[in-house]
């Protein structure tokens, strides 16, 4: 599993700000409006405690601070516990947190201590990045290319199925595709020789430059939580791509809304 690096998070506020503008351009909605529509709930001042976790490979410089910046950008009442791990959990409860956020090397979760709902970053990220495409004004085109059918890709695929998309899927690991096609037989295995172009692409892999020129048209919307970047800057500019890409913010907000 890919681990975030402090470098990934350096421009987190600016990255989210750019995504906010593109999301508004393609959906006519601000991020929070979109989340309210998706989860049919509003944030109501819940207090969110961020607990740094030292297990495994330890703390990531800037991780907890980036979460705090993200939540505060959207006016959410939030704090980082001074202590870490179990002591941090205790501190969060003593400070009357309604929700806690914490991550080790394999799981990043949000837990609502009042209603006992729990969310997982990979699922919530797949959800929001797919919903951005589903809510795009270009509703006529129901073809979607999905690159990467892992833990983030799978919930996105299930969401596109729900909205009757024609799903074309590519993954380096063919067994991942076969498993998904067993579950959803209408999904089409894509290979890049098919020479089909897409106005909507979802990408969630840990590899760089996974989106080749052959699938792009002018104005393609690329919604990609995958780190590092899936599309070269040259292709982004050449095809006026509407690129939704940032390392932590949208998924974290989606986790919070899922458990309100």
Binding partner of residue 225 among ligand NAD, ligand 2YH, none, CB under 5 to 8 Å per kind?
ligand NAD
| 12 near ligand 2YH (CB under 6 A) | no
Closest distance to ligand NAD from the beta carbon of 34 (Å): 15
| 1 near ligand 2YH (CB under 6 A) | yes
Measured from the CB atom, the residue of 112 and 122 that comes closer to ligand 2YH is 122
Q: Which residues make beta-bridge pairs with 78?
A: 48
Binding partner of residue 143 among ligand NAD, ligand 2YH, none, CB under 5 to 8 Å per kind?
none
Going by C-beta distance under 8 Å and a sequence separation of 6 or more, which residues neighbour residue 233? none
| 4 near ligand 2YH (CB under 6 A) | yes
| 122 near ligand 2YH (CB under 6 A) | yes
C-alpha distances (whole Å) from 101 to each of 112, 253, 255 are: 9, 11, 9
Q: What binding mask, one character per residue, do residues 42-81 give for ligand 2YH by CB under 6 A, x or -?
A: ----------xx-----xx--xx-----------------
> In whole angstroms, what is the distance from residue 36 CA to residue 254 CA?
10
Give the residue among 24, 240, 219, 241 at the shortest CA–CA distance from 230: 241
Closest distance to ligand 2YH from the beta carbon of 103 (Å): 4
Among 74, 108, 129, 168, binds ligand 2YH (CB under 6 A): 108
Region for residue 58 given its phi and psi (left: phi exceeds 0; alpha: psi -120 to 50; beta: otherwise): left
| 129 near ligand 2YH (CB under 6 A) | no
Q: Which residues make beta-bridge pairs with 48?
A: 78, 99
| 87 near ligand 2YH (CB under 6 A) | no
> In whole angstroms, what is the distance from residue 259 CA to residue 39 CA?
9
The answer, yes or no, to whether the previous bond of 9 is cis (omega within 30 of 0) is no
| 3 near ligand 2YH (CB under 6 A) | yes
Helices (H) and strands (E) in the chain, counts: 9, 11
The footprint of ligand NAD (CB under 6 A) covers 2, 121-122, 125, 147-153, 170-173, 176, 204-207, 210, 225-227, 247-248, 251
Tokens representing residue 142 in the block? 């129901």
Measured from the CB atom, the residue of 84 and 230 that comes closer to ligand NAD is 230
Largest CA distance in the chain: 58
Q: Beta-carbon neighbour count of residue 143 at 10 Å?
A: 15
Among 104, 141, 143, 158, binds ligand 2YH (CB under 6 A): 104
For 58, the 3-state DSSP assignment is coil
Q: Which chain residues interact with ligand 2YH by CB under 6 A?
A: 1-4, 52-53, 59-60, 63-64, 103-106, 108, 121-122
């Amino acid at each position: 599993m890919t681990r975030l690096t402090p470098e990934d998070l350096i421009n987190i506020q600016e990255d989210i700000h750019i995504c906010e503008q593109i999301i508004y351009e393609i959906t006519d909605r601000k991020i929070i409006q979109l989340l309210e529509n998706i989860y049919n709930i509003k944030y109501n001042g819940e207090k969110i405690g961020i607990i740094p976790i030292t297990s495994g490979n330890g703390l990531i410089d800037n991780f907890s601070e980036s979460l705090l910046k993200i939540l505060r950008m959207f006016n959410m009442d939030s704090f980082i516990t001074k202590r870490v791990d179990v002591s941090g959990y205790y501190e969060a409860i003593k400070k009357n947190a309604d929700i806690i956020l914490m991550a080790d090397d394999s799981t990043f979760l949000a837990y609502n201590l009042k209603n006992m709902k729990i969310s997982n970053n990979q699922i919530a990220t797949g959800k929001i990045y797919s919903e951005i495409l589903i809510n795009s004004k270009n509703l006529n085109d129901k073809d979607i290319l999905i690159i990467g059918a892992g833990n983030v890709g799978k919930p996105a695929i299930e969401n596109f199925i729900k909205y009757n998309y024609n799903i074309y899927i590519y993954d380096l690991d063919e067994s991942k595709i076969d498993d998904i096609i067993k579950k959803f037989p209408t999904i089409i295995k894509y290979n890049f020789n098919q020479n089909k172009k897409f106005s909507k692409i979802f990408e969630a892999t840990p590899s760089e430059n996974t989106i080749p020129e052959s699938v792009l048209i002018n104005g393609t919307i690329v919604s990609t939580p995958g780190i590092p970047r899936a599309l070269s800057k040259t292709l982004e500019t050449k095809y006026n791509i509407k690129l939704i890409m940032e390392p932590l913010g949208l998924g974290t907000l989606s986790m919070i809304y899922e458990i309100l």
